[in-house]
Structure 1
Amino acid sequence: MADSDIKAATALKQQGNKAFSNHDWPLALDFYSQAIEKYDRDPSFYCNRAQTHIKLEAYGYAVADATTALEFDPSYVKAYWRRAIANTAILHYKDALKDFRAVVRKVPSDQNAKLRLAECEKFVRRMEFEKAIEVADPPSAFEGLDIASMVVEEGYDGVLLEEEMTQEFIDDMIKRFKDGKKIAKKYAFQIVEAAKNIVYDEATMVEVQVDKGTKLTVCGDTHGQYFDLLEIFRLNGYPSDTHAYLFNGDFVDRGSWSCEIALLLYAYKWLRPNKFFLNRGNHETDDMNKVYGFEGECKAKYNERLFKVFSESFSALPLATLIGDKFLTLHGGLFSDDKIKLDDIRKLNRHNQRQPGQQGLMMEMLWTDPQTAPGRGPSKRGVGLQFGPDVTKRFCENNGLEAIIRSHEVRMEGYEVEHDGRCITVFSAPRYCDSTENKGAYINVGPELKLDFHKFEAVPHPDIKPMAYAQNSSLMSLT
């Protein structure tokens, strides 16, 4: 290897560092990858790229890069640290535990490392305890919940909610949430129960048409970023009888207004069940909610019982929406088997399996991602798989589709059209987690079934950090 190549590779790494400091993760990733192509023996190149993968939530790739860095330098503390953070993010706590222990052994004076280790040990114990007491078919969280007898808290000064949702209540709730107030616990339980009953009776793949004189807006991940959700409505119009909305999963976790978003979306579902649609995302699941903040937020703002009824309602959500027989909209992506047809989704009984598990149709619908290379590949996340343009083309042709619309991944411009126009990603959480300088986007669909893309910027919000309610928020830190 010539010195000039090493010098050029180091210069590329420095450009990557600059892009990273500017929160431009995709550009940083490109520079680090170019550096590795020039010179593939420097562990810092891999370690820096691992940190970039973490920022992009490509945790499986981060684990691989940190492991490569450690093969070159087994004493590289940052590589142990980053591999531990990546494994924590994909719930591989026992693997993370080994690396946190390695960091503490190598830097015994690092108090932060000791804290992370203690939190990881605590979380492993908790997961093992919960697994030990797990019941195969737990009773409904609504069982014994007498909402009718609940009393609205004294001093509640908002609009009252009777037996049916009203636009007046929603308008008042939107303002209350903006002002940092809550709704009565009774009303929160009413909203979740009503929405759960509605979505439970919907098909696993909801099929909608866009009638003349109406439009449908498709939104991607909102991740507890309530004020950015309101910005979508301000720019694009609030839900109405002629303006339907579809939210494509990941309403909760990460951002610290997940209760507000979930309750607002459910209230709209109750008010306009045939004009407001919700797909399940990979964060509408117990494992993710326990780690990424929603469980803790429910407990802090309302109580643990509310989280349990939300959990049950999430498992009732549809997994996909077919728009005008042309666009299959689902949170993650396509499948490990080319034989899967729309009828397989229609026939999937999602009520027999509350959580997606590690394999199968539901897991793939919630977790998979597109890749540029043909065929299928291992997941960059460490969960699910990746599918290439040829896979998308075959699926669309076999099912008479124009394209699939999915979410699940940050896109710097808020959306991306790839796989020769057949795979569209839309992401609606701008400046994701207050650290990624991405735009948000949404898609308007009219009766002609043409896709109209709109980008928008993040708006200011109260000074509450992402993951504020996660019990192990410091353990999950991406820094």
Structure 2
Amino acid sequence: MDCRQEKTAEQFRLEANEAFHKKKYAQACELYTKAIEISPSAVLYANRSLARIKLEEYGYAYMDACKSIEWDPRYPKGYYRRAVANFALGKYKAALEDFTRVLQLVPNDTDALAKKKECEKRMRELAFAKAIDSDAVKPCSAFDTIDYESIPVEDSYTGPRWERDEDIKSFCDQLLEYLRNQGRLHRKYLIKLLCYSKRYFDQLSNIVSYQVKECGLTVCGDTHGQFYDVLNIFQLNGYPSRENPYLFNGDFVDRGSFSVEVIITLLSFVCYDPQCMLLNRGNHESRNMNKIYGFEGEVKSKYNEKIYSLFAELFESLPLGHLLMGEKENQRVLVIHGGLFSRDGVTLEDLQKIDRHREPDQGLMAELLWSDPQKELGLGVSKRGIGVSFGPDVTRRFLDANQIALLVRSHEMKEQGYEIEADNRLITVFSAPNYCDQMGNLGAYIRFSSSLEPHVTTFSHVPHPNVPPMAYASNGLSSMGLV
């Protein structure tokens, strides 16, 4: 390689670093790729790995970290990046091995030591959970041990009360304003919401058929604990009611630090009238994600571990999708959180047979909640490390085989809040604007008419109280800086 090529590669690296520091992570990846094409190195692969971690592309980040280690087996940041990618995927044993290797190379790295201890803690928790989850000793439902009626409400509590079922409308009306002003719903009424909601969700099938009425239906994507942006959606599009129903398509919690307020709000409308608030499960409605990305920590901080166990069990009862039915027989739209599957021939009947009361870590359920579309035809490796990447031809075959006109999914941040792909047969909608207070993206929601014609509205973020995203998250996701 001549000096001119080396200077060009170095210029791309510097430009990539600048883009990274401006939080333009996709642009940084493109620039690192250009540098790698000219002069690959352990540093460049490790830097691109970090940018992909920021984009939550943990599968790609893992592969880049492996490449970094191949180029220089003594480069600590390669092991560090791989450890963070594995930690994000819940692969604590592999992460532990790499953090241990970092400490062999950099013995005084206090951050790596802290993350090593976090991995060891997670592994102990998993071992304990596995030990008690046997055929001989099945843990009872957390809901079986709860008696919310016996929980006293202190005289000092000034928030909304829900003592009688007929009080639910006034309860909901007062609740939103109370939460907006950073009030904390009393645990008695929160547990009551959880119990009522779980009884309702347990009655539903995996894929719920829903007839869209003349009033239409609004579909929202990921909200990720951005409570004040959820309130803004209601301000822009009207509050949920039977005449103005909503479907929130998963990932209500994690990352944003008002996840408790988001899920309480959604569940309150479910209890008020299930026909005004439909919910799908997302990949973040799971114990592993909640432990890493903040919801578990937030619930324990605002309430206690017992209430988190109720949330975790409730999430397993959520349906996996909704099949929207239009005015005519051939008008059908499938709304699921993630995407499609690693094999052709999957039917709606197959999805109905899934045992959804578990972690979404394998099989059709994992793919349904984790997969992403790609521009290329066919199937590809998942950038996340779970699920698959599926092309427009895969989308077309699945929809045609199941007599569905359109697939709506969420799961990915989009600059404009939405993206239409696969010859207009796939729409991604994302409803968390300025994601994690740093991405600068718009949010969006889709309003479907009774003929299932989609109308997209985009919106910007609104201010929120000074609590940063990931305030309750695990400390295992930070990464050593760029070079």
TM-score strictly above 0.5: yes
* 8 Å Cα contact 1:215/1:447 also seen in 2: yes
CA separation in 2, counterparts of 1:422 and 1:10? 42
Alignment partner of 1:414 out of 413, 417, 420: 417
State the shift of 1:63 in Å.
0.8
**Corresponding residue for residue 192 of structure 1:** 194
Stretch deviating more after TM superposition (403-412 or 158-167): 158-167
**Corresponding residue for residue 42 of structure 2:** 43
Alignment partner of 1:174 out of 173, 176, 179: 176
State the shift of 1:404 in Å.
0.8
| 1:145-184 to 2 correspondences below 5 Å | 145-164=146-165, 166-184=168-186
How many residues are treated as equivalent by the alignment? 472
Counting aligned pairs with the same residue, the percent is 46
State the shift of 1:305 in Å.
1.7
**Corresponding residue for residue 356 of structure 1:** 360
Gaps of 5+ in 1: none
CA separation in 2, counterparts of 1:410 and 1:236? 21
Equivalent position amino acid for 2:79 in 1:
Y
CA separation in 2, counterparts of 1:478 and 1:219? 32
State the shift of 1:11 in Å.
2.1
**Corresponding residue for residue 443 of structure 2:** 440
CA separation in 1, counterparts of 2:71 and 2:477? 26
1:279 aligns with 2:275: no
CA separation in 2, counterparts of 1:198 and 1:134? 26
State the shift of 1:350 in Å.
3.3
CA separation in 1, counterparts of 2:367 and 2:405? 20
> In the TM superposition, what whole-angstrom CA distance separates every residue of 1:356-388 from its partner, at most 9, and x where no partner exists?
232x22121111111122111221111121111
Secondary structure of residue in 1 paired with 2:458: strand
**Corresponding residue for residue 104 of structure 1:** 103
Stretch deviating more after TM superposition (110-119 or 451-460): 110-119
* 8 Å Cα contact 1:62/1:86 also seen in 2: yes
* 8 Å Cα contact 1:222/1:251 also seen in 2: yes
* 8 Å Cα contact 2:80/2:479 also seen in 1: no
Equivalent position amino acid for 2:350 in 1:
D
Please list every run of at least 4 consecutive aligned residues from structure 1 whose deviation after the TM superposition is greater than 6 angstroms.
Answer: none
| 1:6-85 to 2 correspondences below 5 Å | 6-39=6-39, 41-85=40-84
Structure-2-length-normalised TM-score = 0.93
Equivalent position amino acid for 1:426 in 2:
V
* 8 Å Cα contact 1:280/1:317 also seen in 2: yes
* 8 Å Cα contact 1:414/1:455 also seen in 2: yes
State the shift of 1:389 in Å.
1.1
Equivalent position amino acid for 1:33 in 2:
T
State the shift of 1:114 in Å.
2.1
State the shift of 1:53 in Å.
0.8
CA separation in 2, counterparts of 1:287 and 1:153? 34
| 1:165-314 to 2 correspondences below 5 Å | 166-212=168-214, 214-314=215-315
**Corresponding residue for residue 91 of structure 1:** 90
Equivalent position amino acid for 1:468 in 2:
A
State the shift of 1:425 in Å.
1.0
Secondary structure of residue in 1 paired with 2:470: coil
Structure-1-length-normalised TM-score = 0.94
* 8 Å Cα contact 1:356/1:362 also seen in 2: yes
State the shift of 1:128 in Å.
2.1
Alignment partner of 1:339 out of 338, 345, 360: 345
CA separation in 2, counterparts of 1:66 and 1:283? 25
Change (3 A) 1:312 1:163: farther
Alignment partner of 1:327 out of 320, 333, 340: 333
Give the CA RMSD over aligned residues: 1.8
State the shift of 1:156 in Å.
1.0
> In the TM superposition, what whole-angstrom CA distance separates every residue of 1:258-280 from its partner, at most 9, and x where no partner exists?
11111110110111212210001
Stretch deviating more after TM superposition (192-201 or 21-30): 21-30
Alignment partner of 1:405 out of 404, 408, 414: 408
